[in-house]
Amino acid sequence: MYYVIQHNFNDQSKHYIAFKVPKYITNTNNKNIIFEFNIEGKIKRKWSNKEDIILLTDDQEVFSKVVKQLNMIADRHKKVIQEAQTTLAHEIKAFASAMEDEFVNISHQKLENEIVDLLDGFR
């Protein structure tokens, strides 16, 4: 049995996929690897670009260790992203509040100026 970790470009929240494969085919002149799976007695093949393969090994311990490290990194990054999103939401709210206050002040100043101009017309 072989263990594979491959880049995943289809899902932004999961940047890699990990799977077991009983057999693979490759050669030095080809940029692809063919993974063969036996599904319900039928051979199914999946083509992958060699550059997308992070790890291809028959050592389950190495595979498990790398997957665990990748998951720990992903968890740390998700935490940092979540904190950044919270900070950004707070900053956007503060900016919107400051802009609203400024618009209210400008409206009051404009109204006061119009009243002064109007009163000057009666003097």
Mean pLDDT score, 107-120: 68
Contacts of residue 36, defined as CB under 8 A and 6 or more positions apart, other chains included, come to 21, 22, 23, 24, 25, 43, 44, 45
pLDDT in tens, 2-43: 999 998 888 777 789 999 999 999 988 889 999 999 889 899
pLDDT above 70 for 120: no
pLDDT tens for residues 58-113?
999 999 999 999 999 989 999 999 999 999 999 999 999 999 988 888 877 777 77
Cα distances (angstroms) measured from residue 92 to each of 84, 85, 99: 12, 10, 10
- Contact between residue 45 and residue 36 where contact means Cβ atoms under 8 Å apart: yes
Q: With 0.75 as the threshold, say if the pTM is over it.
A: no
| pLDDT (0 to 100) of residue 9 | 84
pLDDT recorded at residue 119:
60
Name the residue ranges covered by the structural domains of the chain.
1-58, 59-123
